[in-house]
Chain A
Amino acid sequence: MDTVFLLAALGMMVSIALAMIRVVGGPTVLDRIVGVNVIGSETTVLLLIIGYLFDAVSMFVDIAIAYAMLNFILSIGVTKFFLRRKGRTLRSDKS
């Protein structure tokens, strides 16, 4: 069963790496925000899988919940920034 969870964790890692392509290379800032949001969501799951691998899920559930909340707060904070700039920041980074 541990092998299954380890493989699942590695699969999540691959999908984090795919989201990372958007974060690092993404032409607009919005691409990066969505990429970070995806990474945050996947990290929540990954934390629980790591908790299972360590046989201490109850310890990792708390941090996973806090993580999901922070991910949400982060998106709201960044979006508020965009709201104030009234769409002027939506153009590409690379002119």
Chain B
Amino acid sequence: MIWQLDLFLLTLVAICALATVSVRGLLSATITFAAYSFLMCLVWAEMGAVDVAFTEAVVGAGVSTIFFIAALFRSTTRSPLLIRGIDDPHHFKDQGWKVLPLILSVVTGVLLFYGMSDFPAWGDPNSIPATRVAAHYVENALRETHVPNLVTAVLGDYRGYDTMFELVVIYCAGISVVSILKQENL
């Protein structure tokens, strides 16, 4: 963990998140959200979690942005305010701050920060998750599974059934999305 990079990255991530919420127009918000995902992927990679970073790059930055744009493209609303952020007197006006969602999100944030105090320190070898099964994986995975990458060994061998049925779920979801998008030419 390199603190100079961390400081810079997390500042940019926070700016991006605020911009995503506050920007006018759904298309702009989608694009700002893609930038947020790109930076978040850098944060994961910088913490050494390359696999999570890979997932974030594929799902967060790539697929979900395309899905958002496809949904925007296929939505029947043609309000310029909603899609592009242009004021149109014939459509509804921006209603300013919404108090109840603001209170809800602040309370949720405070609760999450409160729950975070129970977490072990980053990279702590004596934390509870690191002292139970992890040691067995680290010591025996190569001999038992002959897979050089530890994460792949756990996902594809020790938790093979779990991963297989996850793949089934993702496959079904993919078929549904494709069949919905296929109805009319995108």
Contact = CB atoms under 8 A, between A and B. Distances in A.
Interface in B20-58: 23-25, 27-28, 31-32, 34-35, 38-39, 41-42, 45-46, 48, 50, 53-54, 57-58
Given A9-B5, A10-B8, A43-B38, A84 B73 contact: yes
A19 to B, nearest CB: 9
A8 B51 CA distance: 24
A36 B12 contact: no
Given A23-B35, A36-B31, A39-B38, A50 B85 contact: no
B11 to A, nearest CB: 8
Nearest to A63: B54
Contacts of A94: 24, 85
A93 B42 contact: no
B152 to A, nearest CB: 12
A58 B132 CA distance: 29
B84 A73 contact: no
B50 A74 contact: no
Contact of B45 (A10, A60, A95): A60
B2 interface: yes
A93 B35 contact: no
Contacts of A51: 45
Contacts of A73: 62, 66
B5 A95 contact: no
Interface in A43-95: 43, 46-47, 50-51, 53-54, 56, 59-60, 62-63, 66-67, 70-71, 73-74, 77-78, 80-81, 84, 89, 91-95
A23 B32 contact: yes
A13 B5 contact: yes
B154 interface: no
Contacts of B50: 56, 59-60, 63
Nearest to B86: A95
Contacts of A93: 24-25, 28, 84-86
B72 interface: yes
Nearest to A47: B45
Contact of B46 (A23, A33, A39, A50): A50
13 contacts: A9-B5, A10-B4, A10-B8, A23-B16, A23-B31, A29-B28, A29-B84, A33-B31, A43-B38, A59-B50, A67-B61, A70-B62, A73-B66
9 smallest CB-CB distances across A and B, nearest first, come from A70-B62, A24-B19, A32-B31, A77-B66, A13-B8, A93-B85, A36-B35, A95-B86, A63-B54
